[in-house]
Chain A
Amino acid sequence: NAGVTQTPKFRILKIGQSMTLQCTQDMNHNYMYWYRQDPGMGLKLIYYSVGAGITDKGEVPNGYNVSRSTTEDFPLRLELAAPSQTSVYFCASSYSPIAGVTDTQYFGPGTRLTVL
C-alpha cells in the first residue's frame, strides 16, 4: 500500500493563478480530508468528504473547492490564488464503519504552496 499520496510536493504560484492539489489513497478509506498548516498553528480543516459524491466544508473553506468522484481521489482546487493561501497542505484519509465513528487519520506527505 502506498497509503496517502499527494502531488506536487512543492509549488510556487503567482497571485490569481489556479491549480489543483492531487490526493490519492489506496486503503479504500471512505473519509478524506484536506488541511492546511500555517507556521505556529495547528491543522485547520478546509474540506472533508465522507464518501464518493459527498463533500462538506470545514473550518476554512473560502478560496478552495473540492470534488470526490471516486473513493480514491480527493483533489483540492484553488481558483484565484492569494498570498494568504501560502501554506503546507495535508490530505488525510480514514475509515469509518458507521456514521460519526472514525479511526486514525492517515496523512499524506504534504504539498508546500507559495503564492507570490
Chain B
Amino acid sequence: EDKVVQSPLSLVVHEGDTVTLNCSYEVTNFRSLLWYKQEKKAPTFLFMLTSSGIEKKSGRLSSILDKKELSSILNITATQTGDSAIYLCAVEADYGGSQGNLIFGKGTKLSVKP
C-alpha cells in the first residue's frame, strides 16, 4: 500500500531558528513529491520535486528529494512567526494517464514563537 510519513508531527521553535521537516514515502510508481503550507483553509503550494528537479529553493525555504532514500526534507532558515503552519507532504503516484494520484502525509505542525 502506498504511504507517506512525515516527521516530526509537531515542532516548536523560536524565531531565527532553522528547522528541517522530513517526509518519507513508499510508492509503487513515483512521479513527484509536493510540499504544501496549510495555514487556514486550502493548503498553499510550495514546491514540486521530480527526478529531473531534486532541489528547489525559494527565499528562506528549500527542499531536497533523495530518490535513493525515498525521502525529502523541507528546510526553513531564520524562521519567523509567519512560518507557523502545518506543512503537508504529498507524493504523486503514476497510475497511468496524464496525472497521478496524490497520497498525503499527516503533516508537521510548526509553531514559531517570538
| Among A35, A39, A44, A106, contact of B99 (Cβ-Cβ < 8 Å) | A39
Category for how many chain B residues contact A = 20 to 34
Residues of A within 8 A of B109 (CB): 103-104
Category for how many chain A residues contact B = 20 to 34
CA distance A71 to B88 in the complex (A): 24
Known: A42-B36, A112-B99. A106 touches B45 (CB 8 A): no
In the complex, are the beta carbons of A43 and B106 less than 8 A apart? Answer: no
Q: Give A114's nearest chain B residue, CB to CB.
A: B97
Q: Which residues of B contact A (CB under 8 A)?
A: 34, 36, 38, 40-45, 48, 86, 88, 90, 97-99, 101-104, 106-107, 109
Instruction: List 6 A–B pairs whose Cβ atoms lie within 8 Å, in order of A's numbering.
Output: A39-B99, A43-B42, A48-B41, A58-B41, A103-B109, A105-B88
